[in-house]
Structure 1
Amino acid sequence: MKKAVFTGRTIEEAVKNGLQEWNLPAERAKVTVLEQPSKGLFGLIGVKEAKVELEKIPDPIEEAELFLAEVFRTMELDVSIERTEGEEGTLLNLSGPELGILIGRRGQTLDALQYLTNIVGNRYSNAHLRIVLDAENFRERRRKTLEDLARRLAQRVIKTRKEVVLEPMPPQERKIIHAYLQSYSGVKTFSKGDEPNRRIIIALRTP
C-alpha cells in the first residue's frame, strides 16, 4: 500500500496513527492534509476529526530488494537476501540451493543482475547508490582467483621478458588486477581496447 488515509483528534495525531500503523519513520512519508479538525456546535455536537493522507516515500534499497525478489519468483528460485552496509556500498548477499544459475560463467550473470539492481535502486534515490550483489562469497573467491592469476602472469613476464595480454574482462575485474600488480616489483599494467573487449596488458617495468 503506497497511500492511505488516517484520522485523529489533531493533524499530528492523525499522522502519528498512520506512521505507527505502517511502522514507518516520519521522513519516509509524505503528508497531505485532507480535513482540519473541528469542534462542532458548542464544542460538543458534530465533532470532526482531522484527516490526512500519507504516501510512502520509497526506500531505494527496499525497492532494489523487491526487484530481486520478483526476478527470483519469476525464475522459480528459492533465494534469500541479506543486507549489510560496507565501504563499497550496500551489499546484498544471496543464499539458496540453486545459485549457480544466478552467478553464471565467471560471474557474468551476477554482474548483469547487479547492474539492473543498481538502476532500480538509483531510480528512487536522490544521491548515487552503489549496490553490490554477492552469492555464497563468490566475489571474494573470484578476487583471490584473479590475484593468483595476476601473480603467475607477472612472474612469467619477469622470466620471459615478454608482455602478456589477458582475455577481455569487465571493469571491476580489471581493477582487481591493476590494484594487485600496482606495487608488484618489475612489472606494470595498462588496459587496451574498447568495451566489452578491453584487455589488461602486463609488461616488464623498465628502469
Structure 2
Amino acid sequence: MTENTTAPVADDPSDPAADAGSAPEAVETERETVGAETVESGAAEEGRIEAPAEGGTVDSAAVEVDGESSERLADEEKAAEQLAEAAAEASDAGDDTGSDDASSDGASSDGASDDDDAHAAESAEDRLARLEEEGDIAADYLEELLDIADLDGDIDIDVDGDRASVEIRGAGRLEKLNAPKGELMDALQELARLAVQTRTGNRSRLMLDIGSFRAEHRTSLQELAEKAVADAKSGNQPVPLRPMNPFERKVVHDVAKREGLRSESDGDGKNRHVVIYPAS
C-alpha cells in the first residue's frame, strides 16, 4: 500500500479565500489596539486619568469629579484674570484724570471744574440723591461684571462726604487678585466711574473698596506719609515718595497738610508720585 503524502502548501497571497479567513481576526485585533490607544490618549489629553501603580486600579468616578473641579477652577481663574486685564486697560486710559488729588494739587483735570461748579449749586438733598444714583449705577455695573466672571460677592452702597462709596464684600477670589497693591480695585473703580459718566453725562468721584482693602491700606499709607514728613522736617529737604495711585496720593497730601507742610504731585501716568517739602 502506497502512502500518499502531500506537503503543506503555503497560502497564496493572491488567493481571496486565504485573506477571507485571516482578515477579520487581524482587523479586530487592530481595532482593539487602536481603540485602546485612542481612549488612553484622549484621557491623557483631558488630564483626567493618571496611570495607576502596578496592580492598582483607577477610581473613574473620583477622577471625573476631580477633573471637573480642576476645569471649573481654571475657568474661574481665567475669567478673573481677563476681568483684571480689561479693568487695567480702562484704568490706564483714565489714570491721569487726577480727580482724587486734584484738591491737594490745586488743579483739576479737564472738565472737572465745570462739574464742580454745577454741583456747588446743589442743595443737600439733590447732592445726596445724585450720589445715591451714582452708587446704584456703579453697583449694577459691578454686579454684572462679577456675574460674567462667575465671581461671588456682595455689594454695599453708601455716601461718604461728597462721594458715592461702593464696597464689594465676601469676594474671596477677587480679594486675592486685588492683593497686594490694590491695582484691580483701582481699575474696577475707573470702570465704575466710566459707567456712571456714560449714564449721567457727569464725571464721578466714586470710591470703590474690595474687602476693606482701602480702609486697611489707608493706615499703612498714613504711617508712610508721617515718616516722610518727619524726614522733610529733620533734613530740611524735599522728600519724594514712591509712585502712587490717586487714592494713595490723596492720603499723603492729607497727612502733609495736617502736619503743616506743602506737598505736590509730580510725574506722569504710573510714575506720578508725591513730594513733601519742608516748611519754608
Q: What TM-score, normalized to structure 2? A: 0.47
Q: Does the CA-based 8 Å contact 1:94-1:135 persist in structure 2?
A: yes
CA distance in 1, matches of 2:274, 2:177: 26
Secondary structure (helix, strand or coil) at the match of 2:159 reads strand
Gaps of 5+ in 1: 1-58
Find 2:223's aligned residue among 135, 140, 148. 148
Secondary structure (helix, strand or coil) at the match of 2:228 reads helix
CA distance in 2, matches of 1:171, 1:94: 20
> Matches of residues 3-22 of structure 1 in structure 2 within 5 Å?
none
Q: Is 1:94 matched with 2:201?
A: no
Q: Is 1:79 matched with 2:153?
A: yes
Secondary structure (helix, strand or coil) at the match of 2:253 reads helix
Q: As a proportion of its length, which structure holds more strand?
A: 1
RMSD: 2.3
Q: CA deviation at 1:181?
A: 0.9
CA distance in 1, matches of 2:177, 2:164: 19
CA distance 1:184–1:122, shift in 2 (3 Å): same
Q: CA deviation at 1:100?
A: 1.8
Find 2:214's aligned residue among 133, 139, 146. 139
Corresponding residue of 1:177: 252
CA distance 1:145–1:60, shift in 2 (3 Å): closer
Q: Does the CA-based 8 Å contact 2:135-2:157 persist in structure 1?
A: no
CA distance 1:189–1:89, shift in 2 (3 Å): closer
Q: CA deviation at 1:68?
A: 1.2
| Matched positions, count | 147
Q: Give structure 1 regions of 4+ aligned residues with deviation exceeding 3 angstroms.
A: 59-63, 126-130
Secondary structure (helix, strand or coil) at the match of 2:269 reads coil
Q: CA deviation at 1:129?
A: 3.9
Q: CA deviation at 1:141?
A: 1.6
CA distance 1:128–1:191, shift in 2 (3 Å): closer
CA distance 1:60–1:155, shift in 2 (3 Å): closer
Q: CA deviation at 1:80?
A: 1.0
Q: CA deviation at 1:122?
A: 2.1
Q: CA deviation at 1:176?
A: 1.5
Q: Does the CA-based 8 Å contact 2:155-2:166 persist in structure 1?
A: yes
CA distance 1:131–1:183, shift in 2 (3 Å): closer
Q: CA deviation at 1:193?
A: 1.8
Q: As a proportion of its length, which structure holds more helix?
A: 2
> Matches of residues 1-207 of structure 1 in structure 2 within 5 Å?
61-96=135-170, 97-101=172-176, 103-185=178-260, 187-206=261-280
CA distance in 1, matches of 2:256, 2:173: 35
**Larger-gyration structure (1/2):** 2
CA distance in 1, matches of 2:136, 2:226: 40
Gaps of 5+ in 2: 1-132
CA distance in 2, matches of 1:201, 1:155: 13
Secondary structure (helix, strand or coil) at the match of 1:190 reads strand
Secondary structure (helix, strand or coil) at the match of 1:182 reads helix
Q: CA deviation at 1:160?
A: 2.9
Cα deviation code 1:12-45 (max 9, x no counterpart): xxxxxxxxxxxxxxxxxxxxxxxxxxxxxxxxxx
Which range is displaced more, 164-173 or 121-130?
121-130
CA distance in 1, matches of 2:163, 2:265: 26
| One-letter identity of the residue aligned with 1:201 | V
